[in-house]
Amino acid sequence: MAVPFVSTFQPSERARAAGAAVEVDISALKPGEKMTVEWRGKPVWIIRRTPEQVAALPKIDPQLADPKSERKPDELTPAYARNEARSIKPELLVVVGICSHLGCSPTDKFQTGAQPSLPDDWPGGFLCPCHGSTFDMAGRVYKNKPAPDNLEVPPHMYLSDTRLLIGEDKKA
């Protein structure tokens, strides 16, 4: 009689899934491509950056509000992602795709050069359509934009070269 009663204190399958880690196969992700997965009800972007995109990251530091991810580091950027690429592996970016201003989802603007709503020397990144905040290819916000912070890097770790676990970082 006590077993069914006590089992009601266990979290439901839905509750477990809401906070559970998500395993992702990234083997098909090619340079310059992005995939989106859901973790805790949020879109998480996984981007395989090209060597050119990685090489361009340090060049725009003076234009960024928080190039070294020093604001709210414990909330937004785990220790293993507090680097120029904001990632464990420079070619792979893992960020929550929600703007730090009012929660809109920025759009991909990976193409470089002049485009509507972007500067003529745009190096590639993300544009939030709600209020115009711009982020570089590491999810770092540009200066003088409505978004106060960089995009969040969720806890994650690599299980292998082709498998990523989002939501846990015990091995990191």
Instruction: List, in order, residues 6 or more apart from 94 with CB less than 8 Å away.
Output: 44, 45, 46, 87, 153, 154, 156, 164, 166
Residue 78 · residue 153 · CB < 8 Å? yes
Domains of the chain, each with CATH number or no CATH: 21-166 (2.102.10.10)
Specify the pairing of strand 92-96 against strand 125-127: unpaired
Residues annotated as catalytic are 131
The whole-number average pLDDT for the span 34-59 is 94
* Local confidence band at 16 (pLDDT 50, 70, 90 cut-offs): very low
Q: What is the DSSP letter of 165?
A: E
Least confident of 85-94, 112-121, 147-156: 112-121
Q: What is the mean pLDDT of the chain?
A: 86
| DSSP 3-state of 4 | helix
State the Cα torsion 51-54-56-61 to the nearest 10°.
Answer: -170
Q: Which of 61, 81, 104 is nearest to 156 (CA)?
A: 81
pTM of the model: 0.84
* Local confidence band at 72 (pLDDT 50, 70, 90 cut-offs): confident
Q: Which of 143, 170, 168 is nearest to 71 (CA)?
A: 143
C-alpha to C-alpha distance for 106 and 126, rounded to whole angstroms: 6
109, HSE (Cβ side, Cα atoms, 13 Å): 27
Tell me which of 96 and 6 has the higher pLDDT. 96
